[in-house]
Structure 1
Amino acid sequence: MKKIMLLTATAALLLSSCVSQKKYAELETLQQETRDQLNTATVKLNSCLDEKERLSEQIKTLNNQNSALLNNVGDLATLSTKEASNLEKSLESIKEKDMKIQRMQDAITKKDSVTLALVTSLKGVLGNMNDEDISINVEKGVVYVSISDKLLFESGKYNVTSRAKEVLGKVAMVVKNKPEIEFMVEGHTDDQAMKGGVIEDNWDLSVKRATSVVRILQNEFGVPPERMTAAGRSYYIPVASNDTAEGRSKNRRTRIVILPKLDQFYNLIEQGMKEAK
């Protein structure tokens, strides 16, 4: 700017004095060049100012974005903390459930061990019996001892034979040594109708046969009566067809259903739940 003013003053001084035409033209040209440079500089200055303003806006925007990002990071940190807490609670819940499942499995395993020992004992004392007369099997954790009608009773009768008492004595010896079990004696018949006498029908015959067995176990072999149940099933749960003599013979049977004491089983589970806490 000082250079421009100096040139302008010089030009004015020269104009006020006698200068040659050529010298004047040179000065005028220099003055025009100076103006052009000034205009160019002004344009560049304005452009720089605009760029500065644009950059300032960008910086402001970036600062706002940065602040927002920092807030988001804080939110994410908070969220992560909550998620970590929820995950920890979930893991604790899973651990607790796993322990409960393990305790239940332990209880089931113990019950299965008792069942296995029972079957082994029964087969040990009854192993020399004819398979057609007596069978032992396990279904869904329950032990069934099935004794044929011809071994226990005379046809159409409900009084236990002397030969059958030997079998019942062996069964009593096993169950008496296992106070953790209870059992039910079921009487089963074929579908042939009963005729006359003191027996009214197959329901009556099946019940009387069951109660006869229970009385023998209680009175002659000392099995606690509170551990036994007598039940008659008539001919409604056959194991074979009643259309043949052979099938009817299979259906006439007395079945001893040995039941684990469910309250003891559940007590094992409850005890496990308490230990898991």
Structure 2
Amino acid sequence: MKRIFLATAAITLLFSSCVSKKKYAELEAKQQETKDLLNTATVKLNSCLEDKESRISSLNEQISILKNTNSALLNNQGDLATLSKKGAENLERSLESIREKDLQIKTMRDAINKKDSVTLALVTSLKGALGDLNDEDIQINVEKGVVFVSISDKLLFRSGSYQVSNRAKEVLGKVAKVVKNKPDFEFMVEGHTDTDPISNSCIKDNWDLSTKRATSIVRILQNEFGVDPARMTAAGRGEYVPVAGNDTASGKAANRRTRIVVLPKLDQFYSMIEEGMKKAK
């Protein structure tokens, strides 16, 4: 009986030992699988963490770039605002300069127009005063704002003489009456001759003759008609400024002339401009 019990116990112990090893093996296999899964999960977690850190670093870098860009834009905006202010100031100065130039041009134009108006009035008065004379004896022209009164030699002087004829004094009296009423003008009396030579005890040459003729007329205007001598100039041009050829009688006759050049007083003309400039400022 005792032997049977021992045999039964041995069989039970042996069976029990076999079952435990099998379960152990199963558990061990599951443990290994769990470890593998854990390792895999750990690798994935580390990979995710590395990816996250990389993204965070990238985002931080982008944030830094955006901050720098924003700062630069703010600085540029400030610079642009400064430039815009300077540009506006420069533009305003330019416009002001243009306005000043326009006023100066207008002032000069007004002064020129005024001078031209006075010149036109002078020409009208001269033509009115001398209108009954033959066009061959006296001519009135305007060139570049200057009035020229050209009087023929035969109306003023005898041949080779600088003594003014009585008929010439009548003409000079009419001219004097007009110029005396135009104080804004000065004038120059020019004597001209042809090329025929002249020489005697009183006259050396044509230049001398033309000068004496101009001086004679100036003296008559001053002494007999009261023209202010400060407004007059006597000049002899001789044969050197002809208006026609000296190879014909008619050409020589045209060159023998006395010309009165009526000039605006330039100091008064410039004074008008300067006064206008002051008002424009």
- Considering the TM-score relative to the shorter chain, is it more than 0.5? yes
Structure 2: which amino acid aligns with 1:175?
V
The count of corresponding residues between Structure 1 and Structure 2 is 262
1:244 to 244, 248, 272: 248
1:78 to 77, 82, 91: 82
1:135 to 112, 133, 139: 139
CA RMSD in angstroms comes to 1.8
After TM superposition, the structure 1 stretch with the greater mean CA deviation from structure 2, 212-221 or 103-112, is 212-221
Structure 2: which amino acid aligns with 1:219?
N
- Alignment-derived partner of residue 170 in structure 1: 174
- Alignment-derived partner of residue 3 in structure 1: none
- Alignment-derived partner of residue 107 in structure 1: 111
Shift of 1:138: 0.8
Shift of 1:220: 2.1
Greater radius of gyration (CA): 2
- Superposed CA deviations along residues 41-86 of structure 1, whole A, max 9, x for unmatched, are 2112211111110110121122112112211211221122222222
1:19 aligns with 2:23: yes
1:33 aligns with 2:61: no
- Alignment-derived partner of residue 269 in structure 1: 273
Structure 2: which amino acid aligns with 1:88?
E
User: Is the partner of 1:19 in helix, strand or coil?
Assistant: helix
After TM superposition, the structure 1 stretch with the greater mean CA deviation from structure 2, 130-139 or 73-82, is 73-82
Provide the rounded CA distance (Å) in 2 between the counterparts of 1:229 and 1:192: 26
After TM superposition, the structure 1 stretch with the greater mean CA deviation from structure 2, 82-91 or 106-115, is 82-91
Shift of 1:26: 4.2
Shift of 1:188: 0.5
- Superposed CA deviations along residues 6-30 of structure 1, whole A, max 9, x for unmatched, are xxxxxxxxxx986264454344334
Provide the rounded CA distance (Å) in 2 between the counterparts of 1:226 and 1:24: 140
Give me the TM-score of the superposition, normalised by structure 1: 0.89
- Alignment-derived partner of residue 212 in structure 1: 216
Structure 1: which amino acid aligns with 2:212?
K
After TM superposition, the structure 1 stretch with the greater mean CA deviation from structure 2, 163-172 or 111-120, is 163-172
Give me the TM-score of the superposition, normalised by structure 2: 0.87
Map 1:165-244; keep pairs closer than 5 Å: 165-244=169-248
- Alignment-derived partner of residue 62 in structure 1: 66
Shift of 1:34: 3.2
- Alignment-derived partner of residue 5 in structure 2: none
Compared CA separation, residues 191 and 177, structure 1 to 2 (3 A): same
Provide the rounded CA distance (Å) in 2 between the counterparts of 1:170 and 1:201: 31
- Superposed CA deviations along residues 93-136 of structure 1, whole A, max 9, x for unmatched, are 22222212211111111111100100111111222222211111
- Alignment-derived partner of residue 156 in structure 2: 152
Structure 1: runs of 5 or more not aligned: 1-15
4+ residue runs of structure 1 moved beyond 6 angstroms?
none
Identity %: 65
Provide the rounded CA distance (Å) in 2 between the counterparts of 1:31 and 1:222: 139
Structure 2: which amino acid aligns with 1:259?
L
User: Is the partner of 2:187 in helix, strand or coil?
Assistant: strand
Provide the rounded CA distance (Å) in 2 between the counterparts of 1:130 and 1:22: 152
Structure 2: which amino acid aligns with 1:141?
G
